[in-house]
Amino acid sequence: MRRAPLLLAIATLALGLLAWPRHLVSHVAVNPDFVHFESSHVHPAAMTPDGTRLLVVNTPDARLSVFDVTGVSPVRIAEIPVGLEPVSVAARTNGEAWVVNNLSDDVSIVDLTTLHTRATLRVGDEPSDVVFAGTANKAYVSVSQEDAVKVYDPANLAAAPVVIPIAGRMPRALTRNLDGSEVIVDVFDSSAQSTTLSAAEAGDSLPPPNPPLAPGLPPSPKTGLMLKKNNQHWTDSAGHLWDSKIPYQVPLNEVVYLNATTNTLKATRSDIASIMMGAATNPVSGALAVTGTYAELEIRLEPNVRGHMTEQRLAVIPAFNQARTLIGLDPQVNYAVSPGPQSEADSALGMPTGVCWSADGQRVFVTSLATNKLGVVNPAGAGTIVWSPIRRGRGSTWWAGSTTSSRPSRPRAWPASPSPRSASIPRPMPSSTAGSSSTAASPRATASRRAPRAICSATSTTSSGNWATRRAPWPRPRPGCSIPTSAASIP
């Protein structure tokens, strides 16, 4: 009787083994249920102060890639685990880097000597960037969903941060002036000082259709209305006043200057773009370069926006109290001609996410996420050269440039790419890309590559005539694009 439970257990096990499938096969789903969209890069690449190491965030794999760039080509020496969805990195010293993790709401503090993360700092909802400024070299972190910049003491991470409210939606890229006395913030979602009225609020006072309706068509439907503030008045595209319908103010703050001594607001700038993206400081003059897109928000009706929905812009601001120079990044586009030639689309820059100065402060490099191109701009006004050196990565998002180069006419500069499998690291520009250095492969790379980007493609919104908003796949560089091979070919 004592053996009965044992015999029963053995019999049950035997029946289970007989029912077990002889071959266990793992099948890959034909249509995987996971589609991956990564957080947007802000400052995904940086150099250490001595110029010997290049730091690049590996966003899908939650790592920091470290490259030795003392030789002809960069050599990857480490992959360091950090937080989720890293979007920015900044080197505080040659031995320490701060990595901003947008999804896990923290900053990873990385020891570049031991090549590991030594501390994690919780900073708030969706941080975007970090920069070091002030006499004590404090860390300034933009926290996008809290509309604030938080100031931390690297020597005392346990201390509560100083919180500086930003009067703008989603503070994004950060930079500082040359002596570190100012921190400059660009506001990603500036208001463009525009607002909307509902169909009920607009009532029967909509501007007449322009161009006029064709004969025989029924009356236009009642719709909402976009308004923009002009000369202190809310107006529509026909110039009608709507002040009585807008009992509120919409701040227009696109670039915010902070005093790094008092941690207070110093000045604001506007009239640059609707969406602010990149920011960088000229290493010689201290001038600020910011990039963004400007939307023709107040213009009504499809015939009037065909071929001219957005503009890609670069602004150069010598100082907070000096006039800015506004540069269109697609001067080749003739918006008066629609549809335009294919050559306009082939050379277009779109979604200028990143900006970097050359070591001598004479050129500005702009990355185009939408078209996988790079623009080389002469702020003095001699023109823009567009080229496509990235063969492996798709959609360049930022340049990391070495200001310690002994050859300022040919600075060492590398674009970072959000490609889930690699970060494209070309050789010192302006030579063509002879190769790239790969970051560690992401386990989610396949799903990521299949995921389309819900964007306005630059070839759709910048080139005259091709204006439709598209769900564009990761763009490929077009064959036959001219790449400058010498410094003399850059204006």
Would 39-122 and 126-206+222-489 be classified into the same CATH topology?
Answer: no
Report the topology of domain 39-122.
Thrombin, subunit H (2.40.10)
Give residue 448's pLDDT.
35
Q: Which helix (H) or strand (E) holds 256?
A: strand 255-259
Residuewise pLDDT in 10s, the chain (491 residues)? 556 666 677 777 766 666 665 554 555 555 555 455 678 899 999 999 999 999 999 998 999 999 999 988 889 999 999 999 999 999 999 999 999 999 999 999 999 999 999 999 999 999 999 999 998 899 999 999 999 999 999 999 999 999 999 999 999 999 999 999 999 999 998 878 888 899 999 888 888 888 888 888 898 888 899 888 888 899 988 888 999 888 888 888 999 999 999 999 999 998 888 899 999 999 999 999 999 998 888 788 878 888 788 889 999 999 999 989 998 888 888 888 878 888 888 888 888 988 999 888 988 999 888 888 888 888 876 555 656 544 444 555 555 655 443 333 344 556 666 554 444 443 344 433 333 445 544 433 333 333 323 222 344 444 443 332 222 222 222 222 222 333 333 33
Give residue 171's pLDDT.
95
R_g over Cα of the chain: 26
Question: Which neighbouring-strand residues pair with 64?
Answer: 57, 80
Give residue 73's pLDDT.
86
CA-wise closest residue to 78 among 47, 55, 108, 44: 55
Distance CA 387, CA 385 (A): 7
- Residues in the chain, total: 491
100-103: which pairs have CB atoms within 8 A and are 24 or more residues apart? 100/42, 100/43, 100/127, 100/128, 100/129, 100/130, 100/141, 101/62, 101/127, 102/39, 102/40, 102/126, 102/127, 102/128, 103/39
Give residue 465's pLDDT.
37
CB–CB of 258/140 below 8 Å? yes
CA dihedral (476, 482, 486, 491) positive or negative: negative
Q: Report whether CATH 3.40.630.10 matches the domain 126-206+222-489.
A: no
For 164-178, letters b (16+ CB in 10 Å) and e give: bebebbbbbbbbbbe
Q: What angle do CA 322, 326, 330 make, to 5 degrees?
A: 165
Residue-range domain boundaries for the chain: 39-122, 126-206+222-489
